């Protein structure tokens, strides 16, 4: 069996395979409980390869958060929830899309950076910052649509589009914790239903958007 090379990467290069292994293993066991050997085994590489690509375990945590930001960023950019013409409908569709992802194995649909944040926030500032970037950058993708929805209704809310976008992320993270505690993804879906209802109530349909 020929070893995968950079120019002929059947399984991707060692670095990518290690980051994929990190994504999957850390979501299941957490950052601290995931050993370097775990990752090497899962990626099918040796420690030599690992430490060739990552100086320390912490550096891998940072890289994994960045990898998460890149891959999920591309995934959400291509997702179908951007289709609706009305900005508020796009926000609604986003939440519905997130809800639709909540199924099957907990370790496969929950959020890597949300998980790592809890372990790293005090001990590994570099990981925490990378997680914060991933989370906040993703939240920021919702801001324009929220701002448009506010403007279309001439609302003067006490909160900002940034606030609401981040609250949406917080609610999703919380829903994941509930699902992990109960072992029941349905708990997370139920929580997202409440979040969707909040958006509905906040942008009161009794005051429909004005056509421009």
Partner DNA sequence: ACGTAGATACCAACTGTACGGTATGTTTTC
Partner DNA sequence: GAAAACATACCGTACAGTTGGTATCTACGT
Report the interface residues with a second copy, using CB under 8 A: 28-33, 106-107, 113-115, 117-119, 121-123, 128, 131-132, 135-136, 158-159, 163-164, 166-167, 169-175, 177-178, 180-183, 187-188, 190-191, 193-195, 197-198, 201-202
Work out whether 194 is an interface residue with DNA (CB under 7 A).
no
Residue 173: burial class (beta carbons within 10 Å; 0-12, 13-18, 19+):
middle
| Contact yes or no for 116/65 (Cβ under 8 A) | yes
Q: Out of 30, 46, 70, 155, name the contact with DNA by CB under 7 A.
A: 46
C-alpha distances out from residue 57 to 14, 17, 149, 180, 202, Å:
15, 15, 43, 25, 44
Interface with DNA (CB under 7 A), residue from 45, 64, 120, 172 = 45
| Residue number, 14 or 20, with CB nearest to a second copy | 20
User: Looking only at Cα atoms, what is the longest distance across the chain?
Assistant: 65
Residue 56 binds which one of DNA, a second copy, none, with CB within 5 to 8 A depending on kind? DNA
- The 10 Å Cβ neighbour count of residue 92 is 19
Residue 169 to residue 135: CA distance in whole angstroms: 8
Cβ closest to a second copy, residue 42 vs residue 170:
170
Task: Compute the least distance from the CB of residue 101 to a second copy, in Å.
Answer: 16
198 burial class (0-12, 13-18, 19+ CB within 10 angstroms)? middle
Instruction: Give the total of residues touching DNA (CB under 7 A).
Output: 27
Cα torsion at 66, 25, 94, 164 (round to 10°)?
A: -70
Of the residues 49, 96, 107, 178, which one makes contact with DNA according to CB under 7 A: 49
Q: Does 8 bind DNA (CB under 7 A)?
A: yes
Euclidean distance between CA atoms 119 and 131, whole angstroms = 11
Range 154-193, binding DNA (CB under 7 A): none
Toward DNA, which CB reaches closer, 14 or 113? 14
- Using CB under 7 A as the criterion, which residues of the chain lie in contact with DNA when the complex forms? 2-8, 13-15, 34-37, 44-49, 51-53, 55-58
């Amino acid at each position: 069996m020929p070893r995968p090379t950079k120019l002929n990467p059947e399984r991707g290069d060692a670095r990518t395979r290690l980051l994929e292994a990190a994504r999957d293993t850390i979501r299941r066991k957490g950052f601290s409980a995931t050993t370097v050997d775990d990752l090497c085994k899962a990626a099918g590489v040796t420690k030599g390869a690992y430490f060739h690509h990552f100086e320390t375990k912490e550096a891998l945590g940072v890289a994994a958060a960045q990898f998460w930001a890149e891959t999920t960023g591309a995934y959400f950019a291509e997702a179908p929830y951007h289709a609706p013409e009305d900005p508020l409908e796009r926000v609604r569709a986003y939440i519905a899309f997130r809800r639709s992802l909540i199924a099957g194995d907990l370790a496969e649909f929950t959020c890597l950076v949300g998980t790592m944040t809890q372990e790293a926030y005090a001990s590994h500032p570099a990981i925490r910052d990378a997680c914060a970037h991933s989370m906040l950058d993703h939240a920021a993708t919702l801001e324009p649509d929220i701002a448009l929805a506010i403007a279309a209704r001439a609302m003067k809310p006490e909160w900002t589009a940034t606030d609401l976008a981040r609250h949406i992320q917080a609610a999703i993270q919380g829903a994941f914790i509930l699902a992990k505690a109960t072992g029941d993804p349905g708990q997370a879906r139920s929580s997202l239903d409440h979040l969707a209802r909040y958006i509905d109530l906040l942008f009161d349909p009794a005051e429909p958007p004005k056509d421009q």
